[in-house]
Amino acid sequence: MNRHEATRRVVAAIAFGPQEVGLPYVAPDGSQPLVVATPAEYLSDVLVRVDAVGGSANVALAEVKRFSIFTITKAMTAVDASEESTDHLNSDMSMGMFKIKYTGRRKSHFAVKGVDVEVNSEASSFAYA
């Protein structure tokens, strides 16, 4: 499934699905930005799209039968490389590997190319409509 098909499926499930899908992140202007990603996409590409919508977004990771929603917040400050609580990730990590690494953690900080990113990976999982 490509990203465009994934976006159609996620948006249809949010709008018309049998389950109520709540988007946890609300921007200061009241909008709820949504970035749809597939498991094969690079984390760095998804972070560029998150940055394009203001630096924070709800991210829907679209898999074959379900999608998961979590939030990503990109800090505008550089990360201290010596800070032990921050995982330093390779920018070519796939979103599928990212999900495996962060499933089960409530909040995680990580750095990609020296930029601090916070993930609320208390993901909700939904079936498509």
pLDDT confidence bin for 89, thresholds 50/70/90: confident
pLDDT confidence bin for 50, thresholds 50/70/90: very high
Residue 60 has pLDDT above 80, yes or no: yes
Buried b / exposed e over 53-80, threshold 16 CB at 10 Å, is: eebbbbbbbbbeeebbbbbbbbeeeebe
Q: Give per-residue pLDDT as tens, 12-35.
A: 999 988 888 889 889 999 999 999
pLDDT confidence bin for 37, thresholds 50/70/90: very high
The answer to whether the beta carbons of residues 12 and 128 sit under 8 Å apart is yes
